[in-house]
Structure 1
Amino acid sequence: MTTAPKPDHDDLVERIRRDLQDGYDEELELEIEDRHVDEALRALDEEGTDCTHDERHAYFKNLFRLQRELVKLQDWVQHTRQKVVIVFEGRDAAGKGGAIKRITQRLNPRVCRVVALPAPNDRERTQWYFQRYVPHLPAAGEMVLFDRSWYNRAGVERVMGFCGDDDVEEFFRSVPEFERMLVRSGITLIKYWFSISDEEQHLRFLGRIHDPLKQWKLSPMDLESRRRWEDYTRAKEVMLERTHIAEAPWWVVAADDKKRARLNCIQHLLDQFPYHEVQRTEVRLPERERHDDYVRHPVPPERFVPEKY
């Protein structure tokens, strides 16, 4: 068995710097939500002109451009009554959640929603395997993003021994039929696998261990999955081979670089649809009605939240 070469010290420091910077940039993205994009980019310009700045500036410019297109896609999906399912799979810490967050960040949650189901309860374990996913499928004019999906059976359940070999084999026989049924019903089904290297997952796990704000992301199952890297690799290879169908192929996202992975995934997603900008009715703010007999009652001071900041 060959062992992957370990990154040298300078490479490791650079990866840690990039991971920390990504956390800071996430906070900036949230701040920018309430500001004009050009204004926010000008603020970035004032930070300097080094290589790191140039990379960040390019990332934000492309992200905002793609998010504008996602809004157009959302309007088109709603206007044309499309039904869309997007499946996100990958190893722990592969960046699925970060990509999903950037896709949904500026979209209407009534049109585009995320489904992240917990482990099945005792009752759900006795049901048809796909049954608990079916209620979350989209109606016309909706997009549903699955943060992990029915492919749990081919991954974590198989590797951790939560199901038997017969269960796995039945899954592989059933899932192509299940997904073809979804497509025949009018659902557009897109499946992404976020692929990261052994070294990159190791680094991201260390980051979560030593960051109090990220420790909640690590579960005992995540730590065990790290130990069983090779078992997950074998399970992933079989899964991709046996469930890659013409009606719903797998798309692999190179995800060692989080920012590039997000941009590439969003651009690819947009490319899957013949969407166009939907013309909106011009919105006019009506004049507020005023009545002489209306008196606004003051709020008692004790009901205000204390202003400690």
Structure 2
Amino acid sequence: MFDSPDELMRRIHADIMDGYDEELEMELEDRNMDEQTETLLNDVARAAEKEARRTYFRELFRLQAELVKLQDWVVATGHKVVIVFEGRDAAGKGGAIKRITQRLNPRVCRVAALPAPNDRERTQWYFQRYAAHLPAAGEMVLFDRSWYNRAGVERVMGFCTDEQYEEFFRSVPEFEKMLVRSGIQLIKYWFSISDEEQHLRFLGRIHDPLKQWKLSPMDLESRRRWELYTQAKETMLERTHIPESPWWVVQADDKKKARLNCIHHLLQQMPYREVERPAITLPERVRHEGYRRHQVPGEIYVPKVY
């Protein structure tokens, strides 16, 4: 799978450093990289890699500015959007969702990442707990995994019966058509990674103490059942790719390119336009002659460790 142990470790190291880049990216509020950031990147990357990162950040900021325009248009028009993110473990769904929502208003664009159903939810209509998270007018909801759990992990791990599995495929096209008829735009993304790339990312998580929490026993078992997941994915795409809500496959072996391509494609799915905002004037603060600020007790301040 890899040419040598040295090549394997180089790839693992590169994946860990990419994760650190993600954290830098989430903290970076200024669109112009400052001298300190330049020094950091010089320390961790060769010149070509540094230029690639610059290009990535530049495109990401540009696309995120367009996402803000999209958000304003969604609010102004009362549009309703559901975006489904599916894919294998470590395929990069969460990273793409973070970059989409990073600059947006969480009251407008929110993420639904549901845990495994509890005992009560297992007795409900299968789609019931997902329906509770659907958007109202002027909202976007991103599902980090969705009702397609039944077609994937539940099928592969034996958490549903054959009858439940077949009923899902009978019901899901009707469920999604009903959503679309109600005025909800439904967009579905499958993040596709290779066997080698998932193997690499899992090793990266094992070697990175900040990411080991991402590896659950279920994730590890999914490696062993790679082919069963492949079969389940192929069946899912074949039986649920309908005109009202088609699947879109994001090639995700390169995480940064996958994020940019997904955001670019998402922006093309809606006829948004820039909504004119009223001019904002910061008002003068009202001051009262008799007001005196009370001293805050020193013991309740957080210590200045840094």
Question: Shorter chain as normaliser: what TM range?
Answer: over 0.9
Contact 1:44–1:57 (CA<8 Å) still a contact in 2? no
Amino acid at match of 2:100: I
Deviates more, 1:40-49 or 1:149-158: 40-49
Provide the rounded CA distance (Å) in 2 between the counterparts of 1:270 and 1:12: 36
- After superposition, the C-alpha distances for 1:51-82 in whole angstroms (9 at most, x for unaligned) are 11111111111101000000000000111110
Aligned partner (choices 78, 86, 109) of residue 112 of structure 1 = 109
Q: Report SS of the residue matched to 2:24.
A: helix
Give the CA deviation at 1:172.
Answer: 0.2
Provide the rounded CA distance (Å) in 2 between the counterparts of 1:58 and 1:21: 17
Aligned partner (choices 87, 91, 102) of residue 99 of structure 2 = 102
Q: Report SS of the residue matched to 2:23.
A: helix
Partner of 1:65: 62
Contact 2:68–2:104 (CA<8 Å) still a contact in 1? yes
Aligned partner (choices 102, 116, 121) of residue 118 of structure 2 = 121
Aligned partner (choices 118, 131, 152) of residue 149 of structure 2 = 152
Provide the rounded CA distance (Å) in 2 between the counterparts of 1:42 and 1:180: 52
Give the CA deviation at 1:303.
Answer: 1.1
Contact 2:88–2:193 (CA<8 Å) still a contact in 1? yes
Contact 1:86–1:145 (CA<8 Å) still a contact in 2? yes
TM-score in terms of structure 2 length: 0.95
Give the CA deviation at 1:13.
Answer: 4.7
Aligned partner (choices 201, 205, 208) of residue 204 of structure 1 = 201
Amino acid at match of 1:22: D
Contact 1:253–1:265 (CA<8 Å) still a contact in 2? yes
Q: Structure 1 residue 274 and structure 2 residue 271: aligned?
A: yes
Q: Report SS of the residue matched to 1:55.
A: helix
Query: Residues 73 and 43 from structure 1, CA distance in 2 versus in 1: closer, same or farther, beyond 3 angstroms?
Result: farther
Q: Structure 1 residue 253 and structure 2 residue 250: aligned?
A: yes
Partner of 2:2: 7
Provide the rounded CA distance (Å) in 2 between the counterparts of 1:11 and 1:148: 33
Provide the rounded CA distance (Å) in 1 between the counterparts of 2:56 and 2:38: 13
Aligned partner (choices 33, 39, 44) of residue 40 of structure 1 = 33
Partner of 1:18: 14
* Aligned ranges 1:86-235 → 2 under 5 Å: 86-235=83-232
Give the alignment's Cα RMSD to 1 decimal: 1.5
Contact 1:87–1:191 (CA<8 Å) still a contact in 2? yes
Provide the rounded CA distance (Å) in 2 between the counterparts of 1:27 and 1:88: 21
Contact 2:13–2:204 (CA<8 Å) still a contact in 1? no
Q: Report SS of the residue matched to 1:133.
A: helix
Partner of 1:236: 233
In structure 2, runs of 5+ residues without a counterpart are none
Q: Structure 1 residue 31 and structure 2 residue 60: aligned?
A: no
Give the CA deviation at 1:124.
Answer: 0.4
Partner of 1:283: 280
Identity among equivalent positions (%) equals 75
Give the CA deviation at 1:29.
Answer: 1.1
Give the CA deviation at 1:40.
Answer: 1.9
In structure 1, runs of 5+ residues without a counterpart are 1-5
Provide the rounded CA distance (Å) in 2 between the counterparts of 1:238 and 1:41: 49
Give the CA deviation at 1:213.
Answer: 0.7
Q: Report SS of the residue matched to 1:287.
A: coil
Provide the rounded CA distance (Å) in 1 between the counterparts of 2:37 and 2:53: 8
Give the CA deviation at 1:21.
Answer: 2.6
Q: Report SS of the residue matched to 2:186.
A: strand
